[in-house]
Structure 1
Amino acid sequence: MVERQHAMTMGLQLRLVLFKRLNYKLLLKHISGWVIFIIYEISFVRFSIGVFAPLQNYLCYYGLNVVLFYCNAHLILPFAIKSRRNYIIIPLLMVLELFFYLLFKYALDTVLAFSKNQVISQTIYIKQLLLPNLYRGISFLGCSSLYWAVLRMMLFRNRVHESETTHLVILKEKAELEKNLAEAMTAYLQQQISPHLLFNTLTFIHNTYYKHSRTASQCVLLLVDIMRFSLEEVDIKGKTTLKKEIAQIQNFIELNQLRFDYELYIDFKVAGNVESAQIIPLILLTLTENIFKHGYLKEKKGEAKIYITVNAQNELKFESWNLKKHEPEKRRLRSIGIKNVLKRLDYSYQHHYKLKISDEEDSFGVELMMQL
C-alpha cells in the first residue's frame, strides 16, 4: 500500500514536470505557427499588389484576429458545448462574436485612419470594408472551431487511453487478489486436514493420562481449546468476539505456566467492555505468543506485561512489554508472526489502527491502537 502511494506521488510529480515542459513547447509551436502564417499573408499581399502597410496596422489587426481565434476556441465553444441546447447556443454566440469583432475592427480602422489624418465614413465602411471584414471574421471563426474540434478529439483519445490503462491495472490487481485468495484458501484447507481426527486423538490422550498426570491432561485440554478457536468459523466480516480472543490468551498463558511449573512472571489485565466488541481472530493471540517465544519471563523484577483496554468509543488498546531472551539475531529475524499481523491489520483496518513497536537491546514492547 505504501509503495503504491509512493509510486502514485512520483507519477504525479513527473506529470507536473512534463506538463510544464509541454506548455513551453506548445507555446513556442503556437507562436511559430502564427509567425509563419502572418509572414505568408504579408508576403502574398506584397508580391500580389505591391502594398505593405505600417507595422502598427499589422500588430492591431492580427492581434484582434488572434484574440478572436483563442476566445472562440477556449472560452465560447467549451462553455456553449456544456449547455443542453448547444446546437442553438453555439450559432448564437458565434454571431455575437462576429458582431463584436466587426465593432472592434471598425474602431481600429477609424483610429488608424485618424492617425493618418483620414476619415472613414460609415457609408464607405459598409460598402468597402464590411464584407471583407465579415469574411475575415468568419474564416478565423471557422479555423478556430476546427482547432477546438481537434483538441477535443485528442482529449477524448487521451481519456480513452487512460481509461484502458486504468482498466488493465484493475484487472492486474484483481488477478493478484484472486491469486492471493487461492493461496490463502489452500493454506486454510491444509490447516484443516482431518481436524476432527486430531481433536478426537487429543481427547483420547487426555482421558488416558488424566489419572496419571493431571497437569499433562490440562495442557491437552487447553491446547484443544486454542486449536478449536483457530479453526472456528467467523462471521461474514471475518471477525469474532473480543471476549473469545481474550479467553484464548488466558488459555495460552495458563498453558505456558503449566509447562514451566508456574515460574513465569506475567501481569495480565483486561479493562472495559469486551463482551460486545468484535475483532479479527488471532491478532492479539499472535502478539501474546511472540512474548513467550522470544521473551525472558523468569525474572520477577522484569515481569512481562499484557494490558488490554476498550474505551467508550469502542477503541482497543493492546500494550505488551517483556525482557528479551539471549538468542541469535538470525533466529529472531525468522519470526513472521508480527509481519502477518501487519498484513492482516492493513487488509481489515487500513487507516484505523496504529502499531508502535519498541525493539530495545534488552526489551521488546508493542502498543496497538485500533478502532473496532
Structure 2
Amino acid sequence: MIINFITAKLSPIARKLFIVHATCWILFITYELTFVYYHVGALERPYIYIAFYSINLALFYLHIRLLNFAFTEPKSSYIVGFLLFVVIVVLYLVIKGIADNFLGNPQPARYDSHIFIRAFLPRNLARAFYFILMATFYWAAKHIAHFRRQALEAEKRQLIIEKEKAELETQLTKSRNAYLQQQINPHMLFNALNFVYNSTQKYSDDAANCIWLLSEIMRFSLEEAGPDGKIKLDREVEQIENLIAINRYRFKEPLYLKLEMKGDFSRYKIIPLILLTLTENLFKHGNLTEITSPAELKLTTNETGQLTFYSRNLKKSKNARPRQRKALGLQNIRLRMDSFYKGNYKLEINEPGEFYELTLTLKL
C-alpha cells in the first residue's frame, strides 16, 4: 500500500525502478540488522535506524548524482567534481555526528566532547566510504552495461554502413561495366549507321539525311556531360532542330509548326536531354497536321540567364481526354530538375480544350 501510494504519480519505468531499489534496500537493511542482532543480541529503537539509514541512502544517491555530473554530463569539470565530493563527505560527517549526538549514547560527552567525536568519527568515515564504494560499483555496473549497449549499437551501425558500402561498390562496378559496354556498343552502332548512310545516299538523299540526323541525336545523347553535369545549351538546341527535321521526314503530310528561338544560347549550360525530351513529347502526343491549328515551339533566353521553353499543340484524336501528368518522361524531368535546379525552375502544364500547353521557366 505504501509503495503504491508513493509510486502512484511515477511513470511505469520509474515505478519499476523504484520498486527494484526499495526491494534491494529492504533486503540489505534486513541483512545488516540480522547480523547486528546475531552478534549483539539486541537492536536499537526503530526510529534510530530510520534516521541513520536515511542519511546513508542520501549519501549513496548523492554520490551517484556526482558521478553522473563529473563523467557523463557535457562541460563537466573533474576538479569541481572532486571539490563537491569533499563537501558531500564533510556534510555527511557533520549530519551523522549531529544524529549520533542526539540519537546515540551521549554519556561520554558529559565529561569530554572530544571523546564522543573520536568514538564515532572512525565508524562514520568507514560507513561513508562503504556507501560511497557501493554507489561507485552500482554506477559503474550501470554505465558499463550502457556503454556495452552503445558499443553493440555502434558495431551494428558500422556493419550496416559496411554492407551499404559494399552494395554501393557492387553497383558502382556494375555501372562502370555498363558504361564501358555502352561505349563499345555505340561505336559499333555508329559504324553501322555510317555504312547505312553511305549505302542509302546512292538511292535516296532524304533517307540518308534522316539517318545522319538520327546518328547525330544518338551521339549527342551519349555524350558525357561536364563535371557539373551540364552541357552547352546551343548543343541541345542543335538537337532540337535535328529532331524537328527528322519528324518532317517521317510524315507524309506536311507538319505545321511555328518555331521561334531567341537568345545567345552559346553563353549558357543546361543538364542534357531536358529540352529535347519536351520537344519529342510535342511530336509524340500532338497533332501537327492541321493547318488551322499549327503547333508552337518557343525557346528564348534573356540577359539575366532565364530560359523559357513553351510548346502548344493540338491533341491527337486518341488523346482527346486529359493526358496523365505523371507520365514517365515528365516525371523523370521533374526529378532531374529538382536535383539540379531546386527552387529555380517552374514547369506548368495546361490543357485548354483540345490543346496541350507546356511552359518551362528556368534560371540557368
TM-score (norm 1): 0.67
CA distance in 2 between counterparts of 1:149 and 1:97 reads 20
Moved more, 301-310 or 175-184: 301-310
Letter in structure 1 aligned against 2:207: A
Aligned twin of 1:241 = 232
Aligned twin of 2:8 = none
CA distance in 1 between counterparts of 2:302 and 2:50 reads 76
Give the deviation of 1:139 after TM superposition: 1.0
Whether contact under 8 Å (1:270, 1:308) holds in the other structure is yes
CA distance in 1 between counterparts of 2:294 and 2:63 reads 79
Give the deviation of 1:138 after TM superposition: 0.6
Instruction: Please give the residue correspondences for 1:1-372 in structure 2 after superposition, counting only pairs within 5 Å.
Output: 25-45=16-36, 49=40, 50-55=42-47, 57-58=48-49, 60-76=51-67, 78-79=69-70, 93-109=84-100, 113=103, 123=114, 125-206=116-197, 209=200, 213-260=204-251, 262-265=254-257, 275=266, 277-298=268-289, 303=295, 312=304, 323=315, 326=318, 336-338=328-330, 341=333, 349=340
Give the deviation of 1:222 after TM superposition: 2.2
Letter in structure 2 aligned against 1:229: F
Q: Give structure 1 stretches of 5+ with no counterpart.
A: 1-19
Cα-to-partner distance string for 1:163-221 (whole Å, 9 max, x where unaligned): 21112111222222233333333443443345344334434544555586554344323
Give the deviation of 1:130 after TM superposition: 1.9
Q: How many residues of Structure 1 are paired with residues of Structure 2 in the alignment?
A: 343
Give the deviation of 1:294 after TM superposition: 4.1
Give the deviation of 1:142 after TM superposition: 0.9
CA distance in 2 between counterparts of 1:109 and 1:316 reads 90
Give the deviation of 1:65 after TM superposition: 2.9
Cα-to-partner distance string for 1:98-140 (whole Å, 9 max, x where unaligned): 1122133335556x659xx999785355123322221111111
Cα-to-partner distance string for 1:258-282 (whole Å, 9 max, x where unaligned): 43355254666676x7545444433
What percent of counterpart residues are identical? Answer: 36
The alignment partner of 1:73 has SS state of helix
Whether contact under 8 Å (1:324, 1:364) holds in the other structure is no
The alignment partner of 1:326 has SS state of helix
Letter in structure 1 aligned against 2:213: L
Whether contact under 8 Å (2:298, 2:310) holds in the other structure is yes
Whether contact under 8 Å (1:270, 1:309) holds in the other structure is yes
CA distance in 1 between counterparts of 2:310 and 2:18 reads 61
Which structure: larger Rg? 2
CA distance in 1 between counterparts of 2:300 and 2:18 reads 64
Aligned twin of 2:4 = none
C-alpha distance 357-37 of structure 1, shift in aligned 2 (>3 A): farther
Aligned twin of 1:10 = none
Whether contact under 8 Å (1:113, 1:120) holds in the other structure is no
Whether contact under 8 Å (1:295, 1:325) holds in the other structure is no
Please provide the CA RMSD for this pair: 4.9
Whether contact under 8 Å (1:73, 1:148) holds in the other structure is yes
Q: Give structure 2 stretches of 5+ with no counterpart.
A: 1-10
C-alpha distance 219-138 of structure 1, shift in aligned 2 (>3 A): same
Aligned twin of 2:7 = none
Give the deviation of 1:29 after TM superposition: 2.9
C-alpha distance 22-253 of structure 1, shift in aligned 2 (>3 A): farther
The alignment partner of 1:192 has SS state of helix
